[in-house]
Structure 1
């Protein structure tokens, strides 16, 4: 049975803040967890997203992957999210899509609108901009999870309908982006661009010194400076491991976990 209003967001932090801020039951908020800013998208909407699952299997360090897969194999979790989106038009009488300016949330917006492309239910969006985040550490990108619960009602009051032209344009853009072979996606000024998966390797390498440093400290720097998408610790640590495979950095300890090793530039 459809709920009266379904709030759709990207990530558990966003879902938690929306529920707390609007005092909503769990069923009133749909959380989409796949970070669409990184990795191949060609099979993401299929019932067997094997290529996408293989990508994430390589990205996550052993410890993180084991924790994530307590909820089922990665491929099954991704397939379940695709199935939820296929059933989305019948899930609610009204939809509210929450997003900030980061690439993952912008891609989620486009994917959800694509899933609702033939739906007749009212569709609204809440755009979380810097004006709603006065205390945010980063001003170049915003995310719903940056909101404080007490600020959520003010954000919800800015909800506006998604007009038919915008719905058609963003749905078509999702189809184009899904077919694009780029490994990374940035969002700036309303435009999503695609880039090679190693586009930020130089920035990550620049954070590595010639003396041993904890890997967690190394990746913390590019996580705070990479623009266009929110680079996660798992992504930056994966790229650091790729730099090691290229012989540009070396590890001490086990790279199976971010906090289990140190890293330095190869001498």
Structure 2
């Protein structure tokens, strides 16, 4: 596959043409770091964030994906929470009930603005593995060069958001222009991933995508519980801290798994389960 990748720092443009980069990331925190880098003149261009986390949930239906996340959020936050995707695009055709609307809006924006290149920032996590291939699926037909900016781990953690602005700027010399053959192959791979029924996807140490049952990390929550009452938020926070640094687990997902452990009798709850801060938990004798 590497035979079809070209390492570049800038696209070849006619003399006098200004380079305009579009930067694409999946998480809002990573998008914020890139915007700070642009303000500090460490890089240039505009930043777009799809605001999604692709290790979880269905990938073949945008509306079903929104329903999936809204179900997971229940019991995690007391206040009303908007869906994860909040790209900040100006198009009027955005649909809060369809997670794929952001991709259609971005595709329209690329066709209108015709930037010199689209830089896709992706780490070695399972979420970013899917994100990179999903971008090829949705944006591969746009007449804009797609460029992968590989982001290395920091202190063992694989995520674009763990880097500060200068660390992200240091990744740019390793940017890789994706050839049409690679774009097509990765777009097809995304369709294969989306067709799988598995709801949890992670990368192993070899960088390969593997499919997990959603219960595979329940032991992190059970280990964080004890015979004494503990705040549910504390239990979820400890589980987050003990997860695989290559494949971070969010509080929304772990909250949903804690609700499952309560429903199955492995964990006991004390207090109204309207948010992680409203009740306490402890292990039952069955666990």
Q: TM-score, normalised on structure 2?
A: 0.79
SS at match of 1:256: coil
Please name the residue that 2:137 is paired with.
114
- Radius of gyration: which is bigger? 2
Q: Tell me which residue corresponds to 1:260.
A: 278
Find the residue that maps to 2:80 and give its secondary structure: helix
Match of 1:53 in 2: 66
Displacement after TM superposition at 1:95 (Å): 0.6
Aligned length: 253
Q: 1:69 to 1:154 in 2, by over 3 A?
A: closer
Contact 1:187 1:229 in 2 (8 A): yes
Alignment of 1:13-28 (within 5 A): 13-23=29-39, 28=46
* Structure 1 stretch displaced more, 23-32 or 199-208: 23-32
Q: Which of the residues 160, 165, 174 maps onto 1:158?
A: 174
Are 2:51 and 2:84, in contact at CA under 8 Å, matched by a contact in 1?
no
User: What residue is the counterpart of 2:257 in the other structure?
Assistant: 239
2:270/2:279 contact within 8 Å kept: yes
Q: 1:63-111 CA distances to partner (integer Å, 9 max, x unpaired)?
A: 3661326999995252432432553651542110001112222211111
Write out aligned runs for 1:115-130 (5 A).
115-130=138-153
Q: Is the 8 A contact 1:22 1:152 kept in 2?
A: no
**What is the aligned partner in structure 1 of residue 221 from structure 2?**
204
Deviations 1:154-201 (A, max 9, x none): 122321212333222211111011111001000122311112222212
Residues 121, 247 of structure 1: alpha-carbon distance in 2 compared, 3 angstrom cutoff? same
For 1:67, the equivalent position in structure 2 comes to 81
Structure 2: runs of 5+ lacking an equivalent: 1-18, 87-93
CA shift, 1:245, in A, is 0.6
**TM-score, normalised by the number of residues in structure 1:** 0.84
1:239 CA displacement = 0.3
Structure 2 counterpart of 1:76, from 97, 100, 123: 97
Is the 8 Å Cα contact of residues 88 and 115 (structure 1) preserved in structure 2? Answer: no
- 1:175 and 1:89 map into 2 onto residues whose CA distance is 22
Look up the SS of the partner of 2:57 in the other structure.
Answer: coil
Worse overlay, 234-243 or 110-119: 110-119
Distance in 2 (alpha carbons) for counterparts of 1:257 and 1:27: 39
Give yes or no for contact 2:103–2:138 (8 Å, CA) kept in 1.
Answer: no
3-state SS of 1:165 partner: helix
Please state if 1:104 is matched with 2:117.
no
Unaligned ranges ≥5, structure 1: none
The change in CA–CA distance for 1:82 and 1:162 in structure 2 (over 3 A counts) is closer
CA distance in 2, matches of 1:123, 1:147: 22
Structure with greater proportional helix content: 1
**Which of 169, 172, 178 is the equivalent residue of 2:185?**
169
- Alignment of 1:7 onto 2:19: no
What root-mean-square deviation, in Å, do the aligned CA atoms of Structure 1 and Structure 2 show? 2.7
Instruction: Check the 8 A contact 1:57/1:65 in 2, yes or no.
Output: no
